[in-house]
Chains A and B, each alone.
Chain A
């Protein structure tokens, strides 16, 4: 069992294969139960009574690393045998014993104990199956094995044999005879696994033992082998999930690209933002406060409230989606139901932004047009162009617009323009009498 003819050694390869099979069985049908027992060593010992809890089985399999056996163990081989009744549940009891490499395996006794354990399964409706991992040579006669096989068949117990380890003509013959005695309608199988580079588990996956009567064994195996499907989800098994994953991946990618672009612009904008805000701080705060009930849209890296408001307002107007623009429209139209001039101004800015990104320059020009702005402001009730606040605003707008001429494409600049307009309007509302809001 310590031979290296199966990687890493026979014992380990066997353990891996057992784990794999237990997993496959428990997954293929929730009512399956699996138990494990060892045949070599002092005697047959049941490690786990049939249970549907894979964790218990694996825990017991990892019980303890192999320990060197006693004095005379000529081939130091041990084999393991597991039994899998199908379609039922059963609770395992007792602590998990450790795994040692014992002497040669006792096939007959092992099978008989397995049969007994299956007989006492809790759910009698389960079908009975024994899977034998035969690593050691078989020391029983063919006749004895045939008798055992017949008994198994009589009690409708199916038998799967995994023959590995010692390559022995006799052993093969005996195992084949055993299978022939047990086999009833091809429910029993035998697999010979020669030593070689491929792991024991891999060879088993493709065999009938795994795919066992057309259950979901193959599905489990595919998943266990880390299928090459995108996102690790098989489109055949779960098309909706695969589609959802793909779509969200693309969305994420697009979002990240946009964010990256924005970040680049943000970096260039930040410098300008610093310059402008310092001059406006004192005067702008008053106007800003009434307008703090801004809509949601946020952008990161805001130096102060004013910038935040400006950017928010611009973002709202710059936003391509008509829905947000419409929201904006309703907000303001509610607020200024009686104020047609306000509406006009708003519509103007909204239309400008909604139409074309490249038309921002127009807005720029409009806003930069002092006369235009003052004309709007004068038409607004309660606004005195000579109001120092308004004057400051206009001044800041001017400076900004000059700078912006160099930076046509920067959206943040645009934000400043139209949001300043907005701020002005809001400031007007707050400062002036209530306009039928």
Chain B
């Protein structure tokens, strides 16, 4: 039963791109010309030439709020072999963090990306920690080669939505 439901869950994973609240998406230390939409947005992220790059140093702090509560199942981070990210920390529901206090909180999950991951293999996150996610913060701590610039080509978030009321769908009952 649980196995079935688990696989059912897996099958019903959707790309959470539709639920991203773009007005609140932020990325600290990104380079001006190579910014976050290059890695997140549909179309841009498929383009190999468009990357998200870091600016002053190799760290990146990405904050992605969602339009509704979601459960995060896995993420895919694609990047070049050398400058792709290595250590990635995920924080659920911690907004407005800065580089100074990012290490003050324990991350909800930590992932060390391998080459396969950088080619597109999804990283399964600790599902139990991401049951009730309003916003996700991705902290890229370093990159594969230790260079000054980290490059990310694509970020995909997979998961499911929690049953929430769509307020727009609510219609007033007309009196007959």
**Same complex:** yes
Which positions in A face B, CB cutoff 8 Å?
Answer: 119, 124, 150-151, 153-156, 184-185
Are the C-beta atoms of B95 and A154 separated by less than 8 Å?
no
The smallest C-beta distance from A116 to any residue of chain B, in angstroms, reads 9
Residue of A nearest to B101 (CB): A119
Report yes or no: B32 in contact with A185, Cβ–Cβ below 8 A: yes
Q: Which 9 pairs across A and B sit closest by C-beta, in order of nearness?
A: A150-B56, A124-B96, A154-B56, A154-B29, A153-B56, A185-B32, A155-B98, A156-B28, A154-B99
In the complex, chain B residues 56-73 whose Cβ is within 8 Å of any chain A Cβ: 56-57, 59
Q: Which residues of A contact B5 (CB under 8 A)?
A: none
> Would you list 15 pairs from A and B whose C-beta atoms are within 8 A, ordered by A residue?
A119-B98, A119-B100, A124-B96, A150-B56, A151-B56, A154-B28, A154-B29, A154-B55, A154-B56, A155-B28, A155-B99, A155-B100, A156-B28, A156-B29, A184-B32
Instruction: Give chain B residues whose Cβ lies under 8 Å from the Cβ of A185.
Output: 32
- Residues of B near any A CB (own CB < 8 A): 28-29, 32, 55-57, 59, 95-96, 98-100
Residue of B nearest to A155 (CB): B98
**A151: chain B residues within 8 A (beta carbon):** 56
CB distance from A294 to the nearest CB of B (A): 62
Cβ contacts under 8 Å, B59 to chain A: 154
Select from chain B the residue with minimum beta-carbon distance to A186.
Answer: B32
How far, in whole Å, are A124 and B32 apart by their CA atoms in the complex?
21
Interface of B is mostly: loop
A to B contact number (C-beta, < 8 Å)? 27
Q: How far is the CB of A148 from chain B (nearest CB, A)?
A: 11
Contact at A184–B100, with CB atoms within 8 Å?
no
Closest-CB distance, B152 to chain A (whole angstroms): 16
Q: Look across to chain B and name the residue whose beta carbon is closest to the beta carbon of A181.
A: B56
Min CB gap A233→B, angstroms: 37
Highest count of chain B CB atoms <10 Å: which of A150, A153, A154: A154
State the Cβ distance, B120 to closest chain A Cβ, in Å.
29
Specify which of B55, B95, B98 is in contact with A153 (CB 8 Å cutoff): B55
Chain B proximity of A186: nearest CB distance (Å): 10
* Chain B: CB-nearest residue to A149: B56
* List of A residues within 8 angstroms of B57 by Cβ: 150, 154
Asked if A124 contacts B98 (CB within 8 A), the reply is no
Residue contact B95 to A124, C-beta cutoff 8 Å: yes
On chain B, the residues within 8 Å of A153 by CB distance are: 29, 55-56
B84 CB → nearest A CB, Å: 20
Which residue of chain A has its CB nearest to the CB of B96?
A124
Residues in A whose Cβ lies below 8 Å from that of B56: 150-151, 153-154
Q: Could you say which residues of chain A place their CB within 8 Å of the CB of B32?
A: 184-185
Residue of B nearest to A182 (CB): B56
Q: Report the bound CA distance from A124 to B59 in whole Å.
A: 21
Nearest A residue (CB) for B55: A153
CA distance A151 to B98 in the complex (A): 11
Which residue on chain B has the smallest CB distance to residue A147?
B56
The minimal Cβ–Cβ distance linking A394 to chain B, given in whole angstroms, is 81
Q: How far is the CB of B24 from chain A (nearest CB, A)?
A: 8
Residue of A150, A156, A185 most packed against chain B (CB within 10 A): A156
B32 to chain A, nearest CB (A): 5
CA distance A124 to B26 in the complex (A): 12
Looking at the assembled complex, report how far the CB atom of A254 sits from the nearest CB atom of chain B, in whole angstroms.
57
By beta carbon, the residue of chain A nearest B60 is A154
Min CB distance, A322 to chain B, in Å? 58
* Chain B residue nearest to A119 in the complex (CB): B98
Q: A88 to nearest B CB, angstroms?
A: 12
Question: Which residues of A are found within 8 Å of B95, using beta-carbon distances?
Answer: 124
Question: How many angstroms between the C-alpha atoms of A155 and B59 in the bound complex?
Answer: 11
